[in-house]
Amino acid sequence: MNSSFDPKNPRVKKAYQKRSLNNPPVLALTLVIFIALLFGGIALLYFQIALGWTLIGFSALPAMLVFWIKNDLNEIPIGKSSSFTNLLSEDLLLLLSPNTTPADLIKILPKTRGGSFIMARFGLPISFFQQAQEFLPATTDPIYATAQDILNSTNSEEITGAILAVALVQNLPNAELVLNQIKLTTADLHQGIIWFNYLTGLVKDAKKPVRSGGIGRDFAFGYTPTLQRFAINLSERYANSHIQLQMADHTKIIGQIVETFTHGGRQNVALVGAYGSGRSTIVNSLAETLMDANSKIPNSLKYRQIFALDAPSLISAAKDNSELEYLMINIFNEIYSAKNIILCLDNAHLFFEEGPGSVDIANLLVPILEAGRIRMILIMDDQKFLEISAKNPALANSLNKIVVTPSGREETLKILMDQVPFFEYQKNVIYTYQSLSEAYRLSEQYIHDVEMPGKAKLLLESAAVYAENGLVTAESVATAVEKSYGVKVKVASDTKDREKLLNLEQLIHERMIDQTEAVSAVANALRRAGAGVKHSGRPIGTFLFLGPTGVGKTELAKTLSEVYFNGEDNIIRLDMNEFVSASDVSRLIKDGAEDGLSLTAQVSKQPFSVILLDEIEKAHPSVLTTLLQVLDEGILRDEKNREISFRDSIIIATSNAGANEIREKITSGAKIDDFKEELIENLISSGEFKPEFLNRFDEICLFKPLSKEDLVGVLDLIIASTNKTLEPQKISVVVDPAAKQILIDKGYDPKMGARPMRRIVQKTVENIVAAAILSGHATPGSTLHITPSEIEIS
Amino acid sequence: MAITEMFFWWYSRGWQVFISKARTSLTSITDFFSMSSLVRTLFKPYRQISAETASSSASLDLKFHMFLDRLVSRFIGFLSRLILLLAGTLIIIVGGIASLILIILWPIIPMLPIIGIILSIVGLAI
């Protein structure tokens, strides 16, 4: 295979001819000469001057020239042999020369459509190539050879600027490593080439004439005035243009529908699948196929038009059920008489159940479906199909069910590549390839009510708002998720966030004393999440805090919420002693519309939060069993069977179980690590917790009782909190060290932890401050010094 | 030279391109006038008006009336289709003949300047 540029190749010559001839001024001039010669000749002949024949004869030359330019030079097909020059795209034929160096190639790339496509879509600016320049080979030969390999591996027709750009990158030493640094792989770049080829193909296809039946197409088909009032003609938009779209695996389903409608029997199809799985796209694509004269379908289906019935307008137009039935019968009669209509019932369940915006006309529809005289497509989701099947087996049996499954990654990316030009046109932005793959990844993780590819499309659309300089990047998609779902998905990138994560223990200890094991366990979990190394299919962290009362278990959860989860309000707290019977499971998963305080409702509203399950040992075993899936997979289904994600939450369960044992061991001088395993074994053997429940936690943290020394710190924190409360009044409190000691002596209770201390401060310090304020001794700007005697008196 | 290449193309691929273009435009005309659909449904009732058939239990009088209605509808349908078919056929014939003439004259077109000079020398007047 020849891997060098041949300037003598006829295609090169042709490309230059095209550039000089196929342009408006030359074409206009040629046309003017043609007209002048032709009409000049005719005029001369009119005046009996024989020279007119010469002029008319010569007028053939400009006419031939235009025909040649428009038919031979308009497109320069690839050459027959597989030499490098024979495979080059037109724009490259004009830009390359035998002396082109890799450095020249870098300058050439932005001038080609393919090169600029790859640069824009993958965020590879010219500076990236310029920096890489010194590492490139000395000559272009290896780059051209790589380009030919890429041509074959991507099934491309010609070597475009896109292929050359990728070939340049691939010729860098450690290319894969370089690409990985910008979160790309060679395979991604090859996908980019396929994307470019596809879009180029779309542009070419758009220039082809559309054949959709002509002016007499509907002569043999009847009028449908009522149907047109209540339905949308999906086929109409395909009568004059081809819009649709790469369908990947959906082509198979379209084949199945065509098969069903071609043979006898029940002429209906029920497309059953989740919202977003592409059911409507299939119907639209079928509409286009049926309207295309070139499609390979039986004549009995050619030019059949699909009408989507608008259920709400139909229901609102009818005063009662009898009028609705009358309208429906009218519509069915029209469809039957017209002979060219396929009726599509989107959200078909609306016709099989009573309720607001829906009506049960199954009795009317079932005989029609069974008779098979009207072609129908029903779209419904799997759950509704199950409900309808249970309620009306005859209806379910009369349907030809086709399951529409959600698309996989490759297929979704293809569909997104297909849709992106429409979004770009509507939103006036450009999407990078990374934004597409990020939309797939994040929508898979965060959008649960819609299926692929619908959810990735939704996310891409909303990401347009966060485009920077008109470019929708992976960052824009992540921002869209963060803003829409209130979660943190980006790897901590700004210094403030990184600092916060790195110093989390310090920040937590500003609010609580000791318990270093639990604090660092929680901080590590958050750091893993912040660095993007956490398992995406689980919550950020799941912890069980064990220990006596008043040692800071709940306080740690609150502190965490304050420090990292945007304030103490972002804590979802459930007192598990309110979930002591099996029937309480329903309160956990109640629909948000009925109970906004159920666990699923609160998490769906606020997924990025700390979930505190206080006194978990008091919950009923059924409640604990329900929570197993949350701890394991970060998912809980509510009573409406909607998946609620807990994957952006940190789950903390607290328990006093084993408190006495912990206290005894610590008092006897043992360290937590020495008896932790034994304590857990005891909790299992005593039946307080089941092993499968304890196993679900990332970590079980033991909280030790607070010593008198610890209480000094606790007291300082409580006084600091009192000062914070007094801040608006500009009054501050200072407690003398001796007074502090009295407070500690009074407030120390090893069984109750820090709680008595708070009560003591309330009864003494806060009472003294209140009296001083009311008596006018404490004025704004003053500092109250509390002495031991005051404490004793109070 | 561009001109030489143009002449070379004219006598090689150019001819084929023209034939294929002529064929495409004739196909487009056929599609525009829905020729195949119209031929296939030539005697079908126009827009399915009065296309229903009477049930077997209907009276003879009703059956006869419906038959007449259907006949009228079919006749209207036949007439409208025929008009369109004739118009389409006419345009296809004219286009076809013009294309055929051009295909036959194709090799002569580049010689038109010479022919023109000869006619001028001969002094042929209209």
Burial class (CB in 10 A: 0-12, 13-18, 19+), A367: exposed
**For position A20, what pLDDT does the model report?**
93
Residue in chain B closest to A50 (alpha carbons) equals: B120
Smallest CA–CA distance, residue B103 to chain A, in Å, is 14
Where do the H-state alpha helices sit in B33-59?
A: 35-40
Domain assignment present for residue A500? The answer is: yes
pLDDT tens-digit readout, A730-747? 888 888 888 777 777 777
Q: In this structure, what token pair is assigned to residue A145?
A: 């050879």
CA distances, A787 to each of A672, A769, A779 (Å): 38, 12, 19
Q: Which residues in A lie closer than 8 A to residue B116 (C-beta atoms)?
A: 41, 53-58
Of residues A711 and A74, the one with the higher pLDDT is: A74
The predicted-structure confidence for A597-649, as pLDDT tens digits, reads as follows 889 888 888 888 889 999 998 899 899 998 888 888 888 888 888 888 888 88
Complex confidence, ipTM: 0.88
- Using a CB–CB cut-off of 8 Å, the residues of A that contact B are 17, 21, 41, 45-46, 48, 50-61, 64-65, 67-68, 71-72, 209, 211-223, 293, 299, 303, 337-339
User: In whole angstroms, what is the distance from residue A668 CA to residue A6 CA?
Assistant: 90
How many domains would you assign to chain A?
6
The pLDDT of residue A794: 64
Q: Output the six-digit token pair for A22.
A: 């196929």
Cα first-last separation, chain B:
36
Q: What is the pLDDT of residue A242?
A: 60
The answer, yes or no, to whether residue A245 has pLDDT greater than 60, is: no
The reply to whether residue B34 touches residue A21, judged by beta carbons under 8 angstroms, is: no
Q: What percent of chain A has pLDDT over 90?
A: 38
B31: chain A residues, CB-CB within 8 Å: 211-214, 293
Q: Over A166-199, what HEC string results?
A: HHHHHCCCCHHHHHHHCCCCHHHHHHHHHHHHHH
Strand partners of residue A575: A614
Whether A5 is covered by a domain: the verdict is no
- Is the confidence at residue A476, as pLDDT, over 80? yes
Q: Is A543 helix (H, G, I), strand (E, B) or coil?
A: strand
CA atoms within 13 A on the CB side of A77: 6
A334-A336-A342-A348 Cα dihedral, nearest 10 degrees: 80
Q: What is the mean pLDDT of residues A703-713?
A: 77
User: Strand A268-272's sheet: what is its strand order?
Assistant: A231-233, A305-309, A341-345, A375-380, A268-272, A401-403
Residue A740 included in any domain: yes
Residues of chain A with C-beta less than 8 angstroms from the C-beta of B24: 209
Quick one: tokens of A663? 């206290």
Overall pTM surpassing 0.80 (yes/no):
no
- Among A42, A73, A104, the domain boundary falls at A73
Alpha-carbon distances, residue A37 vs A172, A268, B125 (angstroms): 59, 65, 18
Residues A590, A512 within the same domain: yes
Q: Which residue has the tokens 């009568």?
A: A239
Residue A335 C-alpha, separation from nearest chain B C-alpha, in angstroms: 11
Weakly modelled stretches of chain B, pLDDT under 70: 124-126
> A133-179 pLDDT, tens per residue?
899 999 999 999 999 999 999 999 999 999 999 999 999 998 999 89
Domain boundaries, chain B: 2-122
Residue A188 lies in a domain: yes
Note whether residue A418 is domain-resident: yes
Is A743 within a domain? Answer: yes
A155 and A173 in a single domain? The answer is: yes
> Could you tell me if A231 and A256 lie in one domain?
yes
The verdict on residue A440 lying in a domain is: yes
Same domain, A367 and A480: no
CATH number for the domain spanning A720: value is 1.10.8.60
CA count, 13 A, side-chain hemisphere, A411: 14
Residues from chain B that touch A338, judged by Cβ atoms under 8 A, are 48
Domain holding A176, by residue range, is 85-207
* B2/A21 Cβ within 8 A: yes
Residue with tokens 């030809």: A400
A525 and A667 in a single domain? The answer is yes
Q: Sort out which chain A residues have CB atoms less than 8 A from B5's CB and list them.
A: 17
Question: Residue A88 pairs with which residues in a beta bridge?
Answer: A159
Does any domain span residue A733?
yes
Residue B85 has a pLDDT of 95
Of B24, B28, B51, the CB nearest to A337: B51
Q: How far is CA A112 from CA A25, A130, A163, A186, in A?
A: 23, 17, 11, 21
- Same domain as A543, residue A525: yes
